[in-house]
Amino acid sequence: MFDNVTKSIRVLSAGSVEKANSGHPGMPLGMADVGTVLYKNFLKVSNDCPDWINRDRFVLSAGHGSALLYSLLHFNGFDISIDDMKNFRQLNSKTPGHPELDTKLGIDITTGPLGQGFATGVGLALAESYLANTFGDKIINHFTYGIVSDGDLMEGLSQEAAELAALWGLGKLIYIFDDNNISIDGNVDKVSVTNQKTKFESFGWDVQSIDGHNENEIIKAVNNAKANTSQPSLIIAKSTIGKFSPNKENTSGVHGSPLGEEEMKQFLENLDWSTDLFEHPKEVYEYFDEKRQIDNEEYKKWKQELEKKLLEDSEFKLLWDQFNEKNIVNINTAISEKKATRVAGSEVLKDIGKFNKFILGGSADLAASTKQIISDEVYSSENQTGQVLEYGVREHAMAAITNGITLHSSLIGFGSTFLVFSDYMRPSIRLAALMELNSVFIFTHDSIYLGEDGPTHQPIEHLMSLRLIPGVDVIRPSNSEEIVYSYQYIFSKTNNPKALVLTRQNIDYLETNTSYEDFKKGYYELAHGTDATIFASGSEVNLAMEVSKLLKGKSIQIISTPILNKLKPELIDSLDINNKVFTIELGRSIGWQDYVGPVTKSFSIDSFGASAPIDQLEDNFNMKAKKISQQILDLL
- DSSP assignments along 289-341, one per residue: HHHHHHHHHHHHHHHHHHHHHHHH-HHHHHHHHHHH-SS---------SSB-H
CB 237 within 8 Å of CB 169: no
Instruction: Label residue 75 exposed, middle or buried (CB < 10 Å: 0-12, 13-18, 19+).
Output: buried
Closest to 556 measured CA to CA, from 540, 543, 539, 544: 544
Contacts of 582 (CB under 8 A, 6+ apart): 532, 533, 534, 535, 599, 600, 601, 602, 603, 632
Residue 560 and residue 545: Cα distance in Å, rounded?
A: 10
CB 36 within 8 Å of CB 3: no
Could you tell me which residues are beta bridge partners of residue 415? 362, 441
30-60 burial code (b ≥16 CB/10 A, e <16)? bbbbbbbbbbbebbbbbbebbebbbbbbbbb
Q: Which helix (H) or strand (E) holds 202?
A: helix 196-203
Residue among 395, 481, 540, 618 flagged as catalytic: 395
Residue 142 and residue 137: Cα distance in Å, rounded?
A: 9
Backbone phi and psi for residue 115, each to the nearest 5 degrees, phi listed first? 90, -25
Positive or negative, the CA dihedral 311, 313, 315, 317 is: negative
Going by their DSSP bridges, the two strands 182-183 and 556-560 should be labelled as unpaired
Q: Half-sphere exposure (CA, 13 Å, Cβ side) for 144? A: 32
CB 383 within 8 Å of CB 433: no
Start-to-end CA span in the chain (Å): 83
Instruction: Label residue 611 exposed, middle or buried (CB < 10 Å: 0-12, 13-18, 19+).
Output: middle
Q: Is 395 in the active site?
A: yes
Residues involved in catalysis: 395
